Amino acid sequence: MTVTTTTTHTTKEILDLVDQYLDALDRADAKHQAEYIERSIQKAVEAGKTLDEATERVRSYASERSYAYSAQMGRRFIKIIQTCIDRGAYADHRPSVHAFVEAETGLVFMPAGWSAPAKGARYDLTDEAERALLFANCGFSGGYLYADEVAKAKATLRESE
């Protein structure tokens, strides 16, 4: 018989971890945008544009679009909301749910829709190793929350231990 112990965490502790998660998402978004700019400039130069033309065009597009993340407390879950901030041509973007965090346990779930998480926790914010893995893999698209991606990431973590 296997006995599992659960550590209880206060709501404040979970909310502090959620704030760290939001910061990790912001850093991932900034990193993605920088990589996008670099790739786009390289492609434009390869297509015959001058470096100045390529840089100006790509930077103006990239500065028009980014994401903002916020948390909304519910009865059982903290909803991580992603909003596209457009300062240019793409004006009509509505917020979407990026993830759910269970308020009592710190378990992270992929969204099934606006008001409910998908079955099966993906990460545990209260576990230091899983939290580090989550923060290292998170991104604006949410692909890191798919069960097969989580399994690959956790397998890599186990191999490195």
Could you give the 3-state DSSP secondary structure of residue 79?
A: strand
Task: Answer positive or negative: Cα dihedral of 122, 125, 127, 131.
Answer: positive
- pLDDT on residue 9: 79
Q: Which position has the higher pLDDT, 128 or 161?
A: 128
Of the candidates 145, 152, 156, 157, the one whose C-alpha atom is nearest the C-alpha of residue 120 is 145
Tokens 């929350």, residue? Answer: 145
Residues 60-99 as b/e (b if ≥16 CB within 10 A, e otherwise) read eeeeebbbebebeeeeebbbbbbeeeeeeeeeeeeeebbb
CA dihedral 27, 131, 112, 74 (to 10 degrees): -90
Q: Tens of pLDDT along 79-127?
A: 999 988 765 555 557 789 999 999 999 999 999 999 999 999 999 999 9
| Separation of alpha carbons 85 and 112, rounded Å | 23
